[in-house]
Structure 1
Amino acid sequence: MRKLVGIALLAAMVAVAGFGTTVAQAKDLKVGFVYVSPIGDAGYSYAHDLGRQSVAKMDGVKTFYVESVPEGADATRVVNNMARKGDDVIFGTSFGYMDPMLKVAKKFPNTTFMHCSGYKTAPNMSAYFGRMYQARYLAGLVAGSMTKSNIIGYAGAFPIPEVKRGINAFTLGVRAVNPKAKVHVVWTKTWYDPATEKEAAKSLIDIGADVIAQHQDSPGPQEAAQEAGVYSIGYNSDMSAFAPKAHLTSAIWNWSAFYPVVIEKVKKGEWKADNYWWGLSEGVVDLAPFGDMVPKKVQDMVNARKAEIKNGTFKVFAGPIKDQSGKVRIKKGEVASDKMLTGMDWFVEGVEGSNQ
């Protein structure tokens, strides 16, 4: 009898051992997201959360998120807690999360970390972003076509390469259709502060700006534009609902084109640390629908240029391009490398304001 029991126990142990891989594979993949601002119903974190929702619909995946996490020590704490609780993949969606994530990644080598908008990587940590400058250029074409005062305002968040690159691309678009126009920049030093961002837009309107663009999460600048009877260009997500009479278009993110691809690679064991930088052709960035006030000829012109960017026949940062001082930064016949773009610390000709 003992022999039969022993054989049964042995068979059970073998069965468990044999099915170990299957059990591990059947375990839901836990995916965490860290947002720098409230999700709300528009803006940067909202756009990322739409991407998270597309991941949540995948089989065998559970998602979690923490919103309004300040950059720095708080980010380290949140990311560390996610890893400690067993999240298999963690997305940190703000530039200031880079060093905190890298620090935590070293402690949890079996966790996959994905950092948005930075450049540092590790064996278990990738950097990723989108070529938003492509959509910014297209939005600039719209702004340059619609301004009457030739003064366009731009509320900048922080003077980091990502933001400067977007301002430069926008300005190149503006001046491609309207060489007399200039883009005036003010810095808010905020990612999400509706009151401050609205006041920044008002200060630009006070100097004659009749189109307002932005690089922040809140719709404050859109509201300021509509209240003043001028036009606006949104960012991150379609902001037309906040200023339907002012909103020309928005440069928007579509993270649903990226996040599920990453998770599928992790599930299949095909993920490798890299620096992902997708653009219009991959569907990560785009323009929101045009407002009714944008003439069809302008829409057609922008859509034609969009097609050229997507098929590679037009490059936004192709020379000759001068900086504010008139110095040639990109020579005729040259195209800016990704290294130059990711480290961009200067403004192109046509931008008014300090780059610091």
Structure 2
Amino acid sequence: MSLPTKAVALAAASAVAWSSVALTASALADVFKIDGPPKVAIILFGPKNDGGWSQAFEEARPELEKIIGAKIPVVEKVPEDSSAITPPAERFIQRGYNVIIGTAFGYSDTFKKLSEEHPKVAFLDASGITNGPNLESFYGRTYESQYLCGMAAAAASKTGKLGFVAANPLPVVNWTINAYEMGAKAINPDATLTVVFTGAWNDPVKERAATTALIDQGADVIGQHVDTPTPQIVAQERGVYGTGHHRDLAEFAPKATQCSSVWTWAKFLGPTLESIKAGTWAPSPYGAFPGIKQGGTDIACCGSAVSEDNKKKILAARQDIIDGKNAIFVGPLADRDGKERIAAGATLSDADLWKMDWFIPGVISQK
């Protein structure tokens, strides 16, 4: 993903972008058409076998290749710097590739510039915040899948004391933490969630230290919003349970991992590429924000520590989310300081989601 300073910038910029959605939601996007059949290339922020964020895109690639009927080349380990992003993008374009997929917030400005310089090329950027006539950023409603993993965490816990290893306290992480605790309370109303922020998306050393500290403090299930499987590995080493993020982390800790929030990018990008191929793609001026139904995230669930009865409850809750019967952030809801955040009968707007800087009761974290 990105460095802490860029993460803070993401929070601010995203809040502005989604505030615009709330103010001008009636605006319509124009259809964009590429010349010829789609030739797709992917630029990955991390290594394609990182076990998390980048690997989730790599694993979606074969399905996308079937959809467009062509191989999709990949460049990996491209940092969030214009001098690193531009050369591979330009090489692809010079070779006739007309759909470029990026995978980092820090690509936002560079992709915007490239899209303006190459108006006949389609650009897509995961976790980006810039958009245009031929550019669409996209991210998933991770709070949906993490709510369900929170249910699994409480179901597996014997003490009701849950731990969570997170990167940075920005909105996309805060809504994950809040939803996780809300899901946990749906199983155990007395469940608490202690959070440790590492200050980095990918730092196994800090993640190990944070996980160890949480377990030492009594947490018997560890959730996460960081890029490596380290929290799950440590949970298994210490004989407790956990829930993963990005991919099914039972691959790394089969005894510990009871649920994972997993990206389902083929489900979202597949129809997007099909619409580009058909000449009907209309990139949203505010970006795409898919949920479980549209292919943002989903869950891999459940492990042996989750009873069959609780598994049925989790899957029923998943179906409610898909059917629109559970928007999760519905009022009345106050934060842990007693301030009303969502009025009775109201649902939190996307604009307010992207500005989330508060936690619900039961979340214990650095203030």
Both structures adopt the same fold (TM-score exceeding 0.5): yes
The 1-side partners of 2:343 and 2:195 are apart by 25
Instruction: Tell whether 2:200 aligns with 1:200.
Output: no
Kept in 1, the 8 Å contact 2:156–2:305? The answer is no
Map 1:1-356 → 2, pairs under 5 A: 25=36, 29-40=38-49, 42-73=51-82, 74-274=84-284, 275-354=287-366
Q: How far off is 1:205 after superposition?
A: 1.4
SS in 1 for 2:288: strand
TM-score by length of 2: 0.84
Over 3 Å counting, the alpha-carbon distance change for 1:268 and 1:249 in structure 2 is same
Residue identity opposite 2:218 in structure 1? G
SS in 2 for 1:235: strand
Over 3 Å counting, the alpha-carbon distance change for 1:195 and 1:80 in structure 2 is farther
Kept in 2, the 8 Å contact 1:37–1:192? The answer is no
- Unaligned 5+ residue runs, structure 2? 1-34
Q: How far off is 1:80 after superposition?
A: 4.4
SS in 1 for 2:146: helix
* Greater than 6 Å deviation, 4+ residue runs: none
Percent sequence identity is: 38
Residue identity opposite 1:277 in structure 2? F
SS in 2 for 1:222: helix
Q: How far off is 1:194 after superposition?
A: 2.8
The 1-side partners of 2:80 and 2:181 are apart by 29
- Unaligned 5+ residue runs, structure 1? 1-23
Q: Which has the larger radius of gyration?
A: 1
Q: How far off is 1:283 after superposition?
A: 4.1
TM-score by length of 1: 0.86
Q: Deviations over 1:112-155 (max 9, x none)?
A: 11121233211111121222211111111111222233321111
Q: How far off is 1:60 after superposition?
A: 4.3
Kept in 2, the 8 Å contact 1:132–1:251? The answer is yes
Over 3 Å counting, the alpha-carbon distance change for 1:69 and 1:188 in structure 2 is farther
Q: Deviations over 1:42-85 (max 9, x none)?
A: 32211111222211223443312122222233334544444454
The 1-side partners of 2:179 and 2:86 are apart by 33
Aligned-pair RMSD on alpha carbons? 2.0
Aligned residues: 330
Kept in 2, the 8 Å contact 1:257–1:282? The answer is yes
Q: Which has the higher contact order (CA 8 A, sep 6+)?
A: 2
